[in-house]
Amino acid sequence: MPIQHDILDHKVLGPAIRQGRREGEQTILRRQIAKRFGDPPSWVDERLTKLSNSELEELSLRLLDAKTLDELFTH
């Protein structure tokens, strides 16, 4: 029998799962940024918390080519 409901559509569990994924993406990006550029300034954390999920995904790709933190966050 196929699954007919997506857990992300559940009104209680869906938002909690989405929030957990978002926090996980932010944590991974923080670690990657620190590895690439050293301990980031506080403004980096502030920017990460304001980005949407799609912006976080885009940032993770730009991180591969960015030469500076400013370049990473200005495109």
Whether the CB-CB separation of 52 and 46 falls below 8 Å is answered with no
pTM for the model: 0.80
pLDDT band at 6 (very low <50, low <70, confident <90, very high): confident
At 42-74, the pLDDT tens digits run 999 999 999 998 999 999 999 999 999 999 998
Q: Alpha-carbon distance 61 to 33, whole Å?
A: 12
